[in-house]
Amino acid sequence: MRWLLTKPDIRLRWDRRVISLPVIGKIARGLNTARFARTLSICTSSAIPILDGMRVAVDVMTNQFVKQQVLAAAENVREGSSLRKALEQTKLFPPMMLHMIASGEQSGELEGMLTRAADNQDNSFESTVNIALGIFTPALIALMAGMVLFIVMATLMPILEMNNLMSR
């Protein structure tokens, strides 16, 4: 399986599926968009042009599908689109983050708004992970209880059958 994911086309399809999953997709999207916003914030604070900053920010993302979409957004920015509109077209960034980016573009405080957006996304990511773990933990306990029950029954059933045979 791991070997298959080294092939770019298979990895892209896999990552597209991961993004479309309900809980895992939200976590992957949140992680990648937060990394993007934080890295772009650092780049803009270092006076790196927005397009170069976007290319640097893409390198810290782990999901190939998200990378591809953000590179397309960078191309739209290069052609004159605003950062918010370009990122909105990807349909990967949450509306709150897009509003914060638009506000930063209009006020000239893009760096600060990107930092706030990344913090907001990190908090959202953390709460989503906590909810997922809150659901997963009882399910795992129930699964383990089922496995223990199976082992106990597999051990006791032959003993009970032998007991029934002996009593006849």
Helix, strand, coil tally for the chain in percent (to 5): 85, 0, 15
pLDDT at 1: 67
139 burial type by CB count under 10 A (0-12 exposed, 13-18 middle, 19+ buried): exposed
CA distances, 136 to each of 46, 129, 139, 142, 143 (Å) = 41, 10, 5, 10, 10
Distance (Å, whole) CA 97 – CA 123: 12
Distance (Å, whole) CA 116 – CA 138: 34
Q: What is the pLDDT confidence band of residue 109, given thresholds at 50, 70 and 90? A: very high
* Chain-centroid distance, C-alpha 34: 9
pLDDT (tens digit, 9 = 90+) per residue, 11-68? 889 999 999 998 889 889 999 999 999 999 999 999 999 999 999 999 999 999 999 9
Domains of the chain plus CATH, in order, are 4-136 (1.20.81.30)
- Is-above-0.85 flag for pTM? no
